Amino acid sequence: MTVAAIREYIGVPRDSVENFGGKQIVYASWDRHLLFAAPFLLCLPPETRFRDLVDGPLTALLQADPDAAAIDWTKVEWLKDNQPWTPDFDASLAANGIGHKDQLRFRTPGLNSLSAAA
């Protein structure tokens, strides 16, 4: 759609990493679980250990799903930038190569009770 403006429009992004006080946005989504309509948006320091992301905010956000308690995090299949990826649970987000506004997706084979036909 074409936009007509009376003067030059200069967009200033307000979600750049400099505006988050040393934290960064990380998106996380659980493939084939439609209880959650969109990825979770987490605001975390880059020094956060991946294990702390999983054991803390991610686990808390997933509680509503009936499959959540059965997740075996050692068997989860991860995707980063839509490519298979294996995180180091004891390394930081930064050390795992997770930057500002990156999206992590994960799959839990066998736990797809709220899934659309795959």
* Residue 12 domain-assigned (yes or no): no
pLDDT digits (tens, 9 = 90+) for 46-66: 999 999 999 999 999 999 998
Say if 1 falls within a structural domain. no
Question: Quick check: is 113 in a domain?
Answer: no
The pLDDT, as a whole number, for residue 113 is: 66
Residue 45, in any domain of the structure: yes
Give which of 35, 105, 111, 39 is closest to 71, Cα–Cα. Answer: 111
Domain carrying residue 67: 17-107
This prediction has a pTM of: 0.85
The answer to whether residue 70 sits within a structural domain is: yes
Residue 94 has pLDDT above 80, yes or no: yes
Task: Identify the CATH number of the domain in which residue 92 sits.
Answer: 3.10.20.560
DSSP run (H or E) holding 53 = helix 50-53
